[in-house]
Amino acid sequence: MMKTLLLAAAALGGMVMASAPAEARQGCGPGFHRGYYGRCVSNRGPRYAPRAYIVHRYYPGRGYWYGNRFWGHRYRWHGGWRYR
């Protein structure tokens, strides 16, 4: 009887300890954790800012950057540049 009670208590304790990591970690909610300075951040991978390009400059292998895209060719038109 005592062995059964001890085994049941150990099994219950194991279940409680195993379910603890499944809950919200450190009070931030599911899918989040504490980051630097105690702020809640998501568990997604690192994020990188998009690269800033200088307008009207030629980038080898890509073309000219203008209007949030690369253009292969440009030519003078009415005192300025036209891209196509």
Beta strands in the chain (DSSP E): 32-34, 40-42, 58-59, 63-66, 69-71, 74-77, 80-83
Enter the pTM of the model: 0.35
Query: 19 forms bridges with which residues in the sheet?
Result: none
- Tell the residue number behind the tokens 């809950």, with chain if given: 23
The amino acid at residue 19 is S
Give the separation between CA 15 and CA 6, rounded to whole angstroms: 14
Mean pLDDT of the 47-74 span: 81
Q: pLDDT (tens digit, 9 = 90+) per residue, 12-33?
A: 777 766 654 444 556 788 888 8
The pLDDT score that the predictor gives to residue 53 is: 79
